[in-house]
Structure 1
């Protein structure tokens, strides 16, 4: 079984189009979005409509929640006063432009998705969140301790936990014992499509492949690969200027 995961699009339509085109080449069984469809790049309605057109199941990220509630401000990460002002201006732009239908779509997105897959030799429980299992504002970074990750996963009965929000992809294999059996669990951050922070400006998506013929006692039962995709960044930068937002987003797009 092969699943694709995207996250943190942030209204960057050129990035999303390039990523979806690349994903289709891998022919996954399904695609999931871990939240933050909107805010920053200006194509909020267009991104939501493309996601809906492709029938992609989505979570509600912290930006999705803020726009869904028509908030004039909500917390987001920034590196300077200029970027903070840009973020606030962007929130105002989205609230003025988003359609009532698309705001309603954001309002109805779930906080968490949980799935169970039954295979001939094992059953795997997957949980998906935007931030953490507690809040879509929590940052679960790669240096989060294994004990904390396992506690989070146990709280939602997950063998595989998928997250977004940090915009930095990672995969941690966690060894543990469950019901007197040694198994491996997996904590995964899917990275960011529209606002990467992994060190370069390419979009990121994640492929998860599960081997039907082995169980979680093998670390190789779950295979995770991160894919990095180029897109027309200059088009995004030009669009942001055209709609009247500052060029502070240029630094956001640098991948750092």
Structure 2
């Protein structure tokens, strides 16, 4: 059975969807079978990273409503058909039906090694509905005061749910790449957030002109993906 990873953030604009696309691409390069779900209903854009916006016939909402089978909504992202995306919907008013979602997750876990869920920013009813089916939460945060505060709130919610929180610091400046600053981030994650530090990533927007450019940057993302596949550590 596969593992289910929620990619989340307290605040929007921190690179959550970008990292979800990068994680999926890197896991596929690591010979894992991968499916990505876009649950940011109304604001879907995970498909844009793979230039699929004009190829979508069915989406996740169609599956959960019983309009189509889950296989009909899967779009392959590689020639070996081991890497897929199930795109989201432009429907803003959709509420996640827990029974249908649970059934879908069980089917996907039986078929794939990794199920990656790109979630909306913040703490929403969608998150609350999917918490019981998630193995780990990958929380993306930047060093802005608003992002740190919102990520802290999100981690508190995860702790109440009994879910391990694993923190990724994104859009870091050059100084944060130094060893002493990485140690500071580790201490912050452990003591302030009671979360495991997975790693930090530089601000790549200046180097990447198009969304698809991010997917080739395996050098930065590979160590984090390797750590994600290891069991989560207990935090204080």
**Bigger relative CO (Cα 8 Å, ≥ 6 apart):** 2
Larger radius of gyration: 1
User: Could you state the TM-score of these two structures normalised by the residue count of structure 1?
Assistant: 0.29
User: Could you state the TM-score of these two structures normalised by the residue count of structure 2?
Assistant: 0.31
Higher strand fraction: Structure 1 or Structure 2?
Answer: 1
